[in-house]
Structure 1
């Protein structure tokens, strides 16, 4: 409930992005969570595409077109949004929680509050928005890297032809599901990290505890949300 209230409070403060200091925090978050994480995401996406196609096409004997089509559906519906979110959770959620916990420990949050600065607008909201945007874009790059690798693995120099056939085997709902998951996952893991960092104790030992706890809670939240998407899909 604490994370949900924090998310709602951040959503109500989106207008604060008109101020340069808040936008500056957002841009720094986008750089740290998005640009710096891109090479690692591309490497994992390439690896996943090659591994899945190798198992389907060369081990099981699935046709090249069938393997690529199945890779596309699995990647967009599950692998890309979930693996991207888990990687960003391990890489960024711990740092986010540690930073806020250190600010609380050193009295910086209290000092900002005394100066009349809205901590949720200045520190929390841009971090949630930044993580949400970074996770969405990185999910797209992950999926693209996996599909390109899969197409090259099954078709060689004819990879462009194989990719051109994919839209006929993919439904629009799969694309919307991938987009929805990436947005929701990004907002969720950032909210959990911020909530855990803001609620940290006043001891130095509480900082690493907040960081590890943020990662564990964020991962559990991601799997719970993914299960929720699956259940909603069956109901719909």
Structure 2
């Protein structure tokens, strides 16, 4: 049975942005950013580095594209498409499941009722920091992956010629995909966080529902991610 008395505040969370002035809310926000971004950045950097090296090797060595063309394609694809998408997928696999599980367990143990008795707003203290924290963390992880991929591509294409790398970077990387990355990654992270919170809050307060909330958060997050990416592609 789905309980909507707690799930309803998710829709109105952003009417409470003024609550970010409160130290307790900011503390939860910073913790969410830390645990979502800091604990995943090494994996993200490794994936990005491997991705950049693979793309440039395939384009330049196997398909005969020039180094500049290979790097231009890498920069455009990575910043505009691959980095936001892959970083969001990693975040969903790691953090969406954790958020949904945490909220479902809090619901099962009656912690929401305790917060209400202390006159603490659930949407302000629990949901707002998680929504913003995951969205901002997704931006940071996407930037980390894109920069790692570009670094690997430059190393593969130019080797140890640092001056050539710097000149090439200015020539092959345009501002449009660079500016698109934070917008796309923020929207990906926001949708993933919303669905994770919604999944954790919408299940019944039973132990058997916690794994279901986790599964819903991951599956719904991944499905919505590709739909949102398609919408971005149609809008461009």
TM-score by length of 2: 0.93
How far is 1:19 from its partner? 1.3
**Structure-1 separation of matches of 2:37 and 2:163:** 27
- 1:84 counterpart = 2:68: no
How far is 1:73 from its partner? 0.5
Partner of 1:136: 139
- RMSD of Structure 2 on Structure 1 (CA): 1.7
C-alpha contact 1:6 1:195 (8 A) present in aligned 2: no
TM-aligned CA distance change 1:160 to 1:217, over 3 Å: farther
**Structure-1 separation of matches of 2:165 and 2:62:** 20
TM-aligned CA distance change 1:134 to 1:160, over 3 Å: farther
**Structure-1 separation of matches of 2:219 and 2:163:** 40
**Structure-1 separation of matches of 2:186 and 2:68:** 30
**Structure-2 separation of matches of 1:16 and 1:157:** 50
- Structure 2 counterparts to residues 1-236 of structure 1, below 5 A: 8-233=11-236
How far is 1:11 from its partner? 1.2
Structure 1 stretches lacking a partner, 5+ long:
none
TM-aligned CA distance change 1:7 to 1:161, over 3 Å: farther
How far is 1:8 from its partner? 4.6
- Three-state SS of the structure 1 residue aligned to 2:159 is helix
C-alpha contact 1:42 1:142 (8 A) present in aligned 2: yes
**Structure-1 separation of matches of 2:214 and 2:32:** 17
TM-aligned CA distance change 1:145 to 1:11, over 3 Å: same
